[in-house]
Structure 1
Amino acid sequence: MRVGYWTKPDSDDIEMTLLPIGAGDAGRFGVTGAGAIAALATRGGEELTRQCPLLAGTLTQLAEALAAQRVDAPTSLLSIDHLSETERSLLDDILGEGEVSGIVALPDRRVAQVQESVLAGLWRVRIEGDADGPARDYLEIGSIPAIVSRAAQDFPAPDIEITAPPAGAMNVQPVLAEIRERMAAHQIGQPSHVINFTLLPMNEADMDHLAATLGNGAIQLWSRGYGSCRVLATGARYVWSVQFLNAMDAPILDTIEIGDVPAAVRAADEDFQDSAERLGEIIEAYFR
């Protein structure tokens, strides 16, 4: 997918590749919950406290924030700049790599990477640095990182232009009219409206015209939960391409969602509570 920058309409799009956070860190990420426990089990509580004096406090902050978090509340951010390299390495082991990852193209042409940890609702966010701004690396607790929600609201076009359909098109015009109507009616926090192409006859001419009309957005998200799911923002506000894929990466459910960031990549209230309990158990077992 080619990602556009709406604040610079005369600039060229740039090709972006979806990589998990930490891909260049010699595989530090990718540790599962079981792997994190194995890493902790090799060290005693006294050794962990001595080598990582600030980490236990950071983990306690995270557990408390997870327990208090709700889907409809603002996200909570926590810097990890105060941690030593040893502490950050162990934190990487504890967080691991969860189900959802993705990238966001920023207006200044930098790219933000987001990676959910094995503790659902706890995210690692990294923003690449350049001459105009330093790199950022922080933790965030919420249903989806705020940088994703902001990108979904700030830059996409508030309307779409419905032009004449190409030769051979069947159903794209009423679909575009439905999308346009739902875009205008949607309010943040309302349920999404779903158009299921698996059940709707749409030929190649329809799909090409639909894609050309909606354009490309600044967000790519990928979920590896109970089956793979690809979520791409379009260039139209509130409009998302959501595809559930089989083992061969072929779509088995192909939809357009008109609404907020799709639920397929968002944490739920029960996720925060479960993650708080799991992190509390880790703290109790290995840091006390």
Structure 2
Amino acid sequence: MKAGISFAQGAEHRLSVFPTGAESLEAGHSGPTAAAALAKLASLDGVELARNCPNAVALLSNLAAAVAGQKSAAQTQLFKLATLSDLERKLIADVLGTGEIAGVAALPDGSVARIEETLLAGIWRVCIGSDQAQEYIEVGAIPQIVRRAATDLTSTNLTIYAAPEGAMNVLPVLAEIRERALGWRPGMSAHIINFTLLPMSPVDQAFLQQSVGNGPILLTSRGYGTCRVQATGIRNVWSVQFFNSTDSIILDTLEVGGVPTVALATDEDFEDSAERMQEIIEAYFE
């Protein structure tokens, strides 16, 4: 089994199965000149912005058209940022803002992609490594790089070894996970195992995590509370945990299926984002 990124170290919360890490998932876009660039942008009217940032204006117009016609089940649409000037990049970052979901995905070549949803649901900013040439905007339910990592860096083989002394329920749970993971196909509903309700001893917890391992993807959604979505090392198997506003876990689950729906943009999200995108363009440039 290929190893992904492990987020198990430095746990901040006491969870029933999959510990959360202390890593920050915020993908920063500010730099030494960001404040000056945004101050310059704020001083320009719509005509001047269009004159100084033609590529950014064209990109925003294309994004508006893309999100207006996007559906959650459709192929994503990708827009590269390589041709934009630093000022135009700052304009794009200012217009799109930072949304609730951020995360990372490991890639087969050893690089890491930073993923960040913008304020407009279904419009994502993705950067591979630290190369600006590998930064792009993607419109879709979830960036395709997440789905690829979930397939390319996970294993279809869940080996179940003899349970250690002190185990209670872990063997039937592992058998259920293996059967469901092998049988899942795109379009099928996810199968959910709720560890908040299922009695699992500390030995069960440790053996389960050791068996499925940590996978190549970690996404965190911060809304009214926090939801953490982590791929395990087994294909189609995800840890999904919900925390309240005080960072206490309130729901600890394992999902067998595609990318969990809590991380996906919906058709309603695209409709709302298309409306807001048009309002933003009118406010900035008209």
Any residues of structure 2 matched to 1:189-228 within 5 Å, and which? 189-228=187-226
Distance 2:284 2:75 in 1: 30
Report Cα offsets for 1:242-282 as digits up to 9, x if no partner: 00012343321000000001111111111111111111111
Distance 2:274 2:201 in 1: 47
Contact 1:5 1:105 in 2 (8 A): yes
Contact 2:240 2:252 in 1 (8 A): yes
CA-based RMSD of the aligned residues comes to 2.5
The count of residues paired between Structure 1 and Structure 2 equals: 268
Distance 1:28 1:62 in 2: 23
Per the alignment, residue 89 of structure 1 pairs with 90
Contact 1:110 1:129 in 2 (8 A): no
Per the alignment, residue 65 of structure 2 pairs with 64
Report Cα offsets for 1:193-217 as digits up to 9, x if no partner: 1000111111111110100100110
Contact 1:144 1:266 in 2 (8 A): yes
Per the alignment, residue 21 of structure 1 pairs with 27
User: 3-state SS of the aligned residue for 2:226?
Assistant: strand
User: 3-state SS of the aligned residue for 1:102?
Assistant: strand
Contact 1:194 1:256 in 2 (8 A): yes
Contact 2:82 2:134 in 1 (8 A): no
Contact 2:224 2:245 in 1 (8 A): no
Per the alignment, residue 270 of structure 1 pairs with 268
Q: Percent identity?
A: 51
CA shift at 1:174, angstroms?
Answer: 1.1
Report Cα offsets for 1:136-166 as digits up to 9, x if no partner: 0000001100000011112211021111111
Contact 1:231 1:240 in 2 (8 A): yes
Per the alignment, residue 53 of structure 1 pairs with 54
Contact 2:238 2:255 in 1 (8 A): yes
CA shift at 1:55, angstroms?
Answer: 2.0
Per the alignment, residue 128 of structure 1 pairs with 129
Per the alignment, residue 3 of structure 2 pairs with 4
User: 3-state SS of the aligned residue for 2:197?
Assistant: coil
1:52–1:259 distance in 2 versus 1, CA, 3 Å: same
Distance 2:173 2:33 in 1: 44
1:261–1:20 distance in 2 versus 1, CA, 3 Å: same
Alignment TM-score, normalising by the size of structure 2: 0.87
Instruction: Give the unaligned 5+ runs of structure 1.
Output: 7-14, 30-35
Distance 2:167 2:267 in 1: 43
Distance 1:245 1:16 in 2: 14
Distance 1:197 1:97 in 2: 32
1:251–1:259 distance in 2 versus 1, CA, 3 Å: same
Contact 2:81 2:137 in 1 (8 A): yes
CA shift at 1:192, angstroms?
Answer: 0.7
Report Cα offsets for 1:110-139 as digits up to 9, x if no partner: 111000000000000000158xxx850000
Distance 1:268 1:27 in 2: 36
Of 242, 250, 257, which residue of structure 2 is paired with 1:259?
257
Contact 1:28 1:93 in 2 (8 A): no
Counterpart of 2:206, as a letter, is: D
User: 3-state SS of the aligned residue for 1:47?
Assistant: helix
- Say whether residues 1:111 and 2:112 are aligned partners: yes
Distance 2:119 2:59 in 1: 17
Report Cα offsets for 1:44-67 as digits up to 9, x if no partner: 212212222222211110000001
1:107–1:49 distance in 2 versus 1, CA, 3 Å: same
Report Cα offsets for 1:39-90 as digits up to 9, x if no partner: 9765321221222222221111000000111111111000112222111111
User: 3-state SS of the aligned residue for 2:125?
Assistant: strand
Distance 2:126 2:166 in 1: 45
Contact 1:5 1:107 in 2 (8 A): no
